[in-house]
Structure 1
Amino acid sequence: MPELPEVERATGVVRDVAVGKRIERVETVEDEIVFSGITHQEFATEIANRTVTGVGRHGKCFFLELDGHGRMPVLHFGMTGMLQVKGQLATYYKETPKSANTDWPPRFHKFILHLVDDATGEVAQLAFMDARRLGRVRLRRSPRTEPPISELGFDPILSMPLLEEFTPLVLKRSCPIKALLLDQSFSAGVGNWVADEILYNARIHPEQKCNTLSEEQLSALHHHTSDVCRIAVSVNADDSKFPEHWLFKHRWGKGKKEKHTLKLPSGEPATIKWITVGGRTSAYVSELQRAPKQSVRGEKKKRASRKTQKIEVVGDTESDLTALSDSEPDTVKNVRKRKASAKTSETPTSRKRRSRPSSSLTNPAASVT
């Protein structure tokens, strides 16, 4: 999934190609999933014949600022979203595949902006593509103050809090630190590889509980949350220019025969391991990122209790992130209270009546009409 550095690179593409140009017309493809809260025709009609005056970003969301009245596009790439300028290759996440081409219109495009500079006559076309349809295209009057951007946490590049503000935000949580970093309401723009890189450089195990971090660990976490994003953005998300000592350069060999070349500070080969934290595969170096023994024991007890404890799930789905609240959800508490109350209020007669088989099951001749 494109993360903060890749989305920042995309805003640069829009800035270079679109700012100062008028949207002469918009080609769209019907997609009720990607176009969120609007139809593709509404999107095209509302932004046509308006000039792009700027581009902004917060976390993994970016938006186009347009002149005149009306709403403005707010975009999210999801897992496979990307931009492509006519005549150029698309801006792929991680690496450009050999099959990439400049065919036009590109496959899986959701909209194409036809742009013109009224002063010079220069024209350009910019396409938004999304093969897996997990991206989102929205319209908002005030992108920075409306959802989804208004619901996001701090941006490590644009609004990194001071250490004294950052520390209590972390310590009040009891979830694994990797899960917290992935939560966009905490740190907007931090995704899987960025979170792993932050924790590797800070020498923190991804499963360590937030409220067990030491002052030294919190200081390192604060520094590298900002620093990893800053370095990646400074090279325009070009991973070939990332530092050689970064975990990113060596983490992609899971399940493959070739061996990585990451070294420990001592010069010995590092051991990269993978675990699932916060619903995502997490890479870490076992020699440098050690889980506190206390946390390991606590996790074993919790896993054992889960095997014997039955919890009713309320709602359609569960989040793939560890719960951030230290307390049990009220809905689950209420379910348990109702069950406990029902058990204590049962009489021996009612239990006997409830256990007696019904006639429709015992009598083969019984029928339902």
Structure 2
Amino acid sequence: MPELPEVERAARLVRDVALHKRIVRVETTEDDIVYNGISHVEFAKELQDRVVTGVGRYGKVFYIELDGSGRMPVLHFGMTGMLQVRGEKAIYYRETPRKASTDWPPRFMKFILHVRNDESGATTELAFLDARRLGRIRLCSSPLTEPPISTLGFDPIISMPDLEVFTKSVRKRTCPIKALLLDQSFSAGVGNWVADEILYHARIHPEARCHTLTDDQIAPLYRQTLEVCRIAVEVNADDSKFPEDWLFKYRWGKGKGKKYTMRLADGSPATIKWITVGGRTSAYVAELQKLTQIVESEVLGSDGSESELTPITGSEDENKPVRKRKHRVEPTDSPTLSPVKRRSTRSNRVSVTLYEGTKDQGSN
């Protein structure tokens, strides 16, 4: 999912392409899921013949300011949303796939803005795409004071609180720190990889409980929340320009037999492990991020089996349910019940189901 740095990159693209230009045409496709509280026709009419006066971002949401008294577009990418300029490939979350196309109009297009420079007469086309339909397109009169932005917590780039306020906000929670960082009502814009990066540099285990963190832990947590976001934004979310000591360079590809070359300061290999926290798979370095209190979870085993940590609410659009193993418990002292073993074809787990009246198998 695009996080704060990737959404800031998108806002910059809109500024480069559309700022001070007039929207002379709006193409839309019907989608009553992505268009939130409005129709695609209503969206097009509201933007027609208005000039782009600014582009803003808060958390993972970005918005386009327009002249006149009408409402303005407020956009959220969800999992697979992206922008594409005609004649160029779309801006993907991580890396552009080889099969990426410049065909126009692009697949999964929700709208295309035709913006014209009134002085030169040149027109540029900018499309909003969303394959999985988890993004949202809204219209707001005052983007910063209306939902969804008004419901968000601090933005690490725009509105980071001071250390004292930050410390109090952390310590009044009892959930794992990773789950708190993912909660958009706490830190807007921080997603899965950004949270892992923050915790790695702060040397805090993702399952450490918020109320147990010391001043010596919260101070680097505060600093790294600022620094990770700042550095990623400065390089326009281009991960090839991220520092070589970032966990981002090594955290991808779990379960694919990938060999990791991350090294500790003394040159020895780093051990990257994965657990599920707040409903999300979390990467951490075992030698540097140690858990000091007991928590109810399991580190992913060498066979790649999933942790059974109970999911804790994070952001509304990021949490994924964690499957739990169900065990049927039946009384074993009943003389009328006999166990029959069955093997699941999905997981190769052996389960025992007790059937009534199966003592004499030949009578069935």
TM-score class, shorter: 0.7 to 0.9
Contact 1:175 1:323 in 2 (8 A): no
For residue 11 of structure 2, give the secondary structure of its aligned residue in structure 1. helix
* Partner residue in 2 for 1:249: 249
SS in structure 2 at match of 1:276: strand
Does residue 152 of structure 2 align to residue 138 of structure 1? Answer: no
The 2-side partners of 1:188 and 1:86 are apart by: 31
Select the structure of larger CA radius of gyration.
1
Q: Kindly state the Cα deviation for residue 95 of structure 1 after the two structures are TM-superposed.
A: 0.5
Shift of 1:321: 3.4
Deviation per residue, 1:38-83 (Å, 9 max, x gap): 0000000011110000000000000000000110000000000000
Would the aligned equivalents of 1:57 and 1:63 in 2 still touch at CA under 8 Å? yes
Correspondence for 2:330: none
Secondary structure in 2 aligned to 1:251? coil
**Structure 1 CA distance for aligned equivalents of residues 260 and 12 of structure 2:** 32
Residues 1-33 of structure 1: per-residue CA shift (max 9 Å, x gap)? 000000000001000000111110100000000
Q: Distance in 1 between matches of 2:266 and 2:278?
A: 31
Alpha-carbon distance in structure 1 between the residues aligned to 2:19 and 2:33? 28
Correspondence 1:50-69 to 2 at 5 A: 50-69=50-69
1:3 matched to 2:10: no
| Aligned counterparts of 2:133 and 2:75: Cα–Cα separation in 1 | 13
The SS at the match of 1:253 is coil
Q: Label 1:22 to 1:320 Cα distance change in 2 as closer, same or farther (>3 A).
A: farther
- Aligned residue number for residue 104 of structure 2: 104
Partner of 2:296: 299
- 1:263 matched residue in structure 2: 263
The equivalent residue for 1:39 is 39
Q: Which has the higher helix share?
A: 1
Superposed structure 1 runs of 4+ greater than 4 Å apart: none
Residue 281 of structure 1 deviates from its aligned partner by: 0.3
Tell me which of 308, 321, 329 is aligned to 2:312.
321
Change (3 A) 1:102 1:235: same
In the alignment, the residues of structure 2 paired with residue 170 and residue 257 of structure 1 have an alpha-carbon distance, to the nearest angstrom, of 37
Higher strand share: 2
**Distance in 2 separating the partners of 1:122 and 1:63:** 23
Residues 70-81 of structure 1 aligned to structure 2 (within 5 Å): 70-81=70-81
The DSSP-based 3-state class of the residue aligned with 1:96 is coil
Deviation at 1:320, TM superposition (A): 5.4
CA distance in 2, matches of 1:248, 1:192: 11
Q: Is the 8 A contact 1:176 1:322 kept in 2?
A: no
C-alpha offsets along residues 236-275 of structure 1, whole Å, 9 cap, x if unaligned? Answer: 0000010111000001131122311111111100000000
Distance 2:56 2:258 in 1: 40
Q: Is the 8 A contact 2:24 2:115 kept in 1?
A: yes
Q: What corresponds to 2:26 in structure 1?
A: 26
Segments of structure 2 that go 5 or more residues without pairing to the other structure are: 298-309, 316-364
Whole-angstrom distance in 2 between the partners of 1:83 and 1:65: 17
Quote how far apart the aligned CAs of 1:143 are. Answer: 0.1
> Aligned equivalents of 1:228 and 1:321: distance in 2?
24
Partner residue in 2 for 1:122 = 122
Per the alignment, in what secondary structure is the counterpart of residue 321 of structure 1?
A: coil
Distance 1:132 1:42 in 2: 22
Q: Which residue identity is paired with 1:299?
A: E
Letter of the 1:89 counterpart: K
Taking structure 2 as the reference length, the TM-score comes to 0.82
8 Å CA contact retained: 2:77, 2:134: yes
Instruction: Read off the aligned partner of 2:69 and give its amino acid letter.
Output: H
* Amino acid in structure 2 at the alignment position of 1:190: V
Residue of structure 2 in register with 1:91 after alignment = 91
Q: Give per-residue Cα distances to partners, 1:182-235, cap 9 Å, x unaligned.
A: 000000000000000000000000000000001110000000001000000010
**Given that residues 71 and 140 in structure 1 are in contact (C-alpha distance below 8 angstroms), is that contact kept between their aligned partners in structure 2?**
yes
Q: In 2, distance between residues paired with 1:281 and 1:224?
A: 20
Is the CA contact (8 Å cut-off) linking 2:30 and 2:40 kept in structure 1? yes
Residue in 2 that maps onto 1:334: none
